[in-house]
Structure 1
Amino acid sequence: MRNISDIIEHYLKTVLQESHGGMIEIQRNDLADRFSCVPSQINYVISTRFTLEKGYLVESKRGGGGYIRIQRIDLPMHSELHAHVHETIGSEMSQSAAEGLIYRLVEANLITGREAALMRSAVLRNTLLLKLPYRDEMRARIMKAMLIALMGQSD
């Protein structure tokens, strides 16, 4: 049995897929009523599962006419990926940012589940036994190298 957070996430992703332009606006209270939960549960789902690293841009306006706007951000095509990888990752990358990017790549069918598992294991803090900021620098370099190799491009 899936928990309420999984159900809300699935619902929002389904609505996003069916929307024109990959964007939806929702009312937090309406969604909470729909799923018989508190509005803070909606906040939790949106803040943890609809992050920039996972490919979503979230905008929120509080108050009487308030809304939450969720927009899906598409990954660039393979030909643009090399430059995008260098711009997105930068010189440092946290473990959560790396995991979010790997999640997006799987979701976009750019890498397989097996490739994702290998990538995750290579960038775990337990694997990279270095002190910060060296660990985040090494993680960024490893992620760039793996992504470029997977996409068949050379540096």
Structure 2
Amino acid sequence: MANVSDVIEQYIKQVLSECDDGVLEIQRSELAKLFQCVPSQINYVISTRFTVEKGYKVESKRGGGGYIRIQKIEWTCPKSWYDNVMRLIGNRVTQVAAEGIIDQLEEQKHVTEREGRLMRTVVSRNVLNVPTPLRDQLRANILRALITQLLIREEGG
């Protein structure tokens, strides 16, 4: 059975997919009432499941008339997508951020589910069994190399 965070995430994704302009504007308090949870639960879901690494742009305004605006980032140009992902990875990338990038790759059909599983395996902390600063650098190098090869494949190179 799915937990509350999973249900909230799926609900937001569903509503977002139905938005004509690709932008969802919601109020934290309304979502909290709908799911009978505290607003901090909504904050948690937004901050962990709707990140740039996962392909979302989130704006938030707090207060009485506050809102959360969520937009799914669609990269129609492989070069723009590549540049953005390389910038996100940088010189170091955490496992959570790397998995978010891989999720985005799968959602946008740049990799198959099988390729995504393989990518997650090679960048996991279990495989990269070295101290954290080095592990995040090594993970970034591997992820950049994998994505570069994917771009070459997509462009037919």
Residue aligning to 2:70: 70
Aligned partners of 2:85 and 2:101 also within 8 Å: no
Aligned partners of 1:76 and 1:84 also within 8 Å: no
Residue aligning to 2:94: 94
Matched, 1:106 2:106: yes
Q: Which runs of 5+ in 1 are unaligned?
A: none
Aligned partners of 2:53 and 2:88 also within 8 Å: no
Shift of 1:88: 2.9
Q: Which runs of 5+ in 2 are unaligned?
A: none
**What's the TM-score, normalizing by structure 1?**
0.88
State the distance in 2 between where 1:92 and 1:65 align: 38
Matched, 1:31 2:31: yes
Matched, 1:120 2:116: no
Aligned residues: 155
Shift of 1:29: 1.1
- Aligned residue runs from structure 1 range 1-155, under 5 A: 1-151=1-151, 152=153
Shift of 1:132: 3.5
Q: 1:126 to 1:44 in 2, by over 3 A?
A: same
Shift of 1:28: 0.9
Larger mean Cα displacement after TM superposition, 91-100 or 126-135: 126-135
Identity across aligned pairs (percent)? 53
State the distance in 1 between where 2:24 and 2:81 align: 27
